[in-house]
Amino acid sequence: MDYKNLQAEIKDDVAIVTLNREKALNALDAELISELHDFFTTHWMKRDFRCVIITGAGKAFAAGADIDELSKLDVAGAVRTAAIGQYLMKTIENFPCPVIAAINGFALGGGCELAMACDIRLASEKAKLGQPEINLGIIPGYGGTQRLARLVGRGKAKQLIFTGDMIDAAEAHRIGLVDEVYPPEELINKAMEMAKKIIAKSKPSVIAAKELINRGLDVNLSSGVEFEKRAFGTIFGGKDAVEGLKAFMEKRPANFKHK
């Protein structure tokens, strides 16, 4: 795992991925996007951990796409840049284990879009979030217009995207953009605590729940519950369902084998 702008460490079945381009507030340039792609595709195959935490070094989670690079794009280049960024966000969103964003500081533009592609967002009290692209005469390009509206509703999404305003962690929590807020020094430990709590559950159930919630948000309710019915049946074919239900009846903790 030798990356220039990314640190990745696997500890107790949890991968901690740190964006480490501090001099540019972890702005997502082509190289950093490519390193993130490499990390997530390599480990999609390896499956050598069961939860991922993404965070940033220094005072930013990520301050957006790299504006210096954006300033050199023509129309075709902009479409390609959006396509590559969106593909990364989709890869993270569909990654076959939970991905937690530990938002330590600025999460703006592409940085906020990266956080929104994660399953759960935990923020430091110092975090600042927003989609300030409008101030640059552009719009979000890594899924922000779509995921923000799904997370906070169309009115708040429009307000944030039209004004380009930055909001603090408390406001982001209030509108549902982040799920929990912690003092800065507790953020990573809290993220780790949550990761450990999740990986103690049955892995196939966690993955099925993730897939169902994601797929369900793209289809109507009847199709979503239809997917759920089938997945519910599939889960009953696994050893963990037998063990979990039996353990409850026997009044003892379940010993999941993640099968």
Residues that bind ligand CAA in the complex, under the rule CB under 6 A = 24-25, 27, 63-68, 70, 85, 106, 108-110, 113, 132-133, 136, 140-142, 144
Residue 16, H or E segment: strand 14-19
Among residues 9, 125, 133, 250, the one annotated as catalytic is 133
DSSP states along 60-104: EEE--B-HHHHTT--HHHHHHHHHHHHHHHHHHHT-SS-EEEEE-
Q: Three-state DSSP class for 120?
A: strand
Beta strands 120-124 and 167-168, pairing class? unpaired
Q: Is 113 designated active site? A: yes
Among residues 113, 180, 193, 243, the one annotated as catalytic is 113
Q: Is 133 designated active site? A: yes
Q: Which is nearer to ligand CAA, 136 or 151 (CB)?
A: 136
Shortest distance in whole angstroms from residue 17 CB to ligand CAA: 19
Q: Which residue is nearest to ligand CAA (CB)?
A: 109
Q: ∠ CA(227), CA(232), CA(238), 5° rounding?
A: 130
Residue 204, H or E segment: helix 203-216
Shortest distance in whole angstroms from residue 138 CB to ligand CAA: 6
Q: Which is nearer to ligand CAA, 145 or 205 (CB)?
A: 145
Residues involved in catalysis = 113, 133
